[in-house]
Amino acid sequence: MTTVRPPRGRPTPEPGPVPRSPATARVVVRRLFGVEHPDAMIVVGTVIFLVLFGLVMVLSSSAVTSAQNNEGDFFAVFLRQGLFALIGIPLMLMIARLPAVFWRRWARVAVMVGLGLQLLVFTGLGYGYGGNQNWISIGGLTAQPSEFLKLALVVWLATVLADRANAFTDWRSVAIPAVPISGVAIGMVLLGQDLGTASIMIAIVLAALYFAGAPLRYLAGLVGAVALGAVVFALTSSSRSSRIDVWLNGCAPEDYEFTCWQSVHALWALGSGGVWGVGLGNSATKWRWLPHAESDFIFAIIGEELGLIGAIVVLVLLAVLAVGLVRLVRAHEKPFHRIATGAIMVWIIGQSLVNIAVVLGMLPVLGVPLPFISAGGTALVSSLLAIGVVLSLARDLPLPARTAAPVAR
């Protein structure tokens, strides 16, 4: 009788699911988000992380005032912000799949609709807060039309400037296509006394002209005219002039309970956080000591609860987002793509720097939110839509060639 012996060596493993390689995982992510270019993946990943981080900080910073203003509901502001995030992120991913020709085709319609919505703030649907007439209320839902007007202005400027990019011969060729409609849009926002939003819109216009190739000497002239207009506008309001005076000359004792209240308490919050912070949810300043702690001054709560480390993390994330956007701008060869991406970059990164500078006392109080982090549904959705436009234009970029790995011998 012959005995059959099992083969020597390791037993043959049972067949099972093949593990996914990192390259396969990247392909799945690219298909899910509709982006292929690596810099676009950096942008969308950073933005989603900022939104999730912002939801956590909105919950922490708004719980007290939310309970006091909503009959004990600690989660009212957080749930509203979360709802807008659930709306904005899918919209961002949906419009990221649209072709660039879509934006050029509908740019003029978009800016007309944006101007029409902004007009509503001066009708019975509009209402003011804090001296600004820049909101509308329809059926209990509130919105800030100027946030959507920013995006419409970006797409329209990219459309009208793309055909004459790098071909500006005199100041008329710079001013005529961009200034009239832009001036109307910014003027309507200024009529509502919203200097912060108007400042960001001016930066968008200047950025679009710069990335379109307008000569620097003409841009310098526009900057000078804008600065002169800003001084005149600031002096026409006692509230704005007092804020600027306090910023330049410091707070007097009589200003503490009025003009200096937010600035002083924001610095106290940052200083009390130290290196590691007092702990998430443990802020003392959010107990009605700092107005708008969940929106315009949320960076102060981040510094108080998460300390210097948390503040640096936010700055690093914004720097990563800026690097990704800069790389996309440099990669675009088509003028429309370059102008639109560059203008959105200046909008998002510039507004972030302005917000942080206000909290640090480096600028007077302007009232602009921290993109993707501050509470504010209209601002969050419009910023996510802007990133969606960036991702849409990035689809036209060629993928960088991969370097073949050397073969070991």
CA nearest to 268, candidates 369, 361, 370? 361
Q: For residue 121, give the DSSP letter.
A: G
Q: What's the pTM value of the predicted model, to 2 decimals?
A: 0.89
Burial class (CB in 10 A: 0-12, 13-18, 19+), 107: buried
Beta strand pairing call for 141-143 and 126-129: unpaired
Report how far residue 318's alpha carbon sits from residue 315's, in angstroms, rounded to the nearest whole number: 5
Q: Residue 28's pLDDT is what?
A: 56
Alpha carbon distance 134, 136 (integer Å): 7
Contact call for residues 320 and 46 (beta carbons, < 8 A): yes
In tens digits, what is the pLDDT along the chain, a chain of 409 residues? 455 555 555 555 555 555 555 555 555 556 665 678 899 999 999 999 999 999 999 999 999 998 888 877 889 999 999 999 999 999 999 999 999 999 999 999 999 999 999 999 999 888 887 778 889 988 878 899 999 999 999 999 999 999 888 778 778 877 888 888 999 999 999 998 888 999 999 999 999 999 999 988 889 988 898 888 887 877 777 777 777 777 877 777 766 777 788 888 899 999 999 999 999 999 999 998 999 999 999 999 999 999 999 999 999 999 999 999 999 999 999 999 999 999 999 999 999 999 999 999 999 888 899 999 999 999 999 999 999 999 999 999 988 765 444 444 4
Q: Taking a C-beta distance cutoff of 8 angstroms, is the pair 293, 62 a contact?
A: yes
What is the pLDDT at residue 68? 86
Residues in contact with 307: Cβ distance below 8 Å, sequence separation at least 6, in sequence order: 273, 274, 275, 276, 277, 278
Show the tokens assigned to 235. 């002096």
> Are the CB atoms for 292 and 262 separated by under 8 Å?
yes
User: Under a CB-based contact definition with an 8 Å cutoff, are residues 229 and 187 in contact?
Assistant: no
The C-alpha atoms of residue 4 and residue 47 are separated, in whole angstroms, by: 63
For residue 155, the cross-strand partners are none
- Residue 128's DSSP bridge partners are 133
Cα(382)–Cα(388) distance, rounded to whole angstroms?
10
Q: Which helix (H) or strand (E) holds 374?
A: none
Residue 141 φ/ψ, nearest 5 degrees:
-95, 130
**Burial of residue 355, with CB atoms counted within 10 A of its CB: 0-12 exposed, 13-18 middle, 19 or more buried:** buried
Taking phi over 0 as left and psi of -120 to 50 as alpha, with beta for the rest, 127 belongs to: beta
Residue 405 pLDDT: 43
Residue 5, pLDDT score: 56
Question: CA separation (Å) from 98 to 29, 48, 142, 308, 393?
Answer: 18, 20, 28, 40, 8
- What sign does the dihedral 63-132-183-363 (CA atoms) show? negative
Alpha helices in 237-334 (DSSP H): 238-249, 261-273, 298-331
- pLDDT tens string 101-126: 999 999 999 999 999 999 999 998 88
Residue 198 neighbours by CB under 8 Å, 6+ apart: 186, 189, 190
Instruction: Note the Cα 135 to chain centre separation in Å.
Output: 19
pLDDT tens-digit profile of 24-42? 555 555 666 567 889 999 9
Q: Which amino acid is at 63?
A: A
Domain boundaries, the chain: 37-97+251-393, 105-236
Q: Write out the two tokens for 93.
A: 């991913």
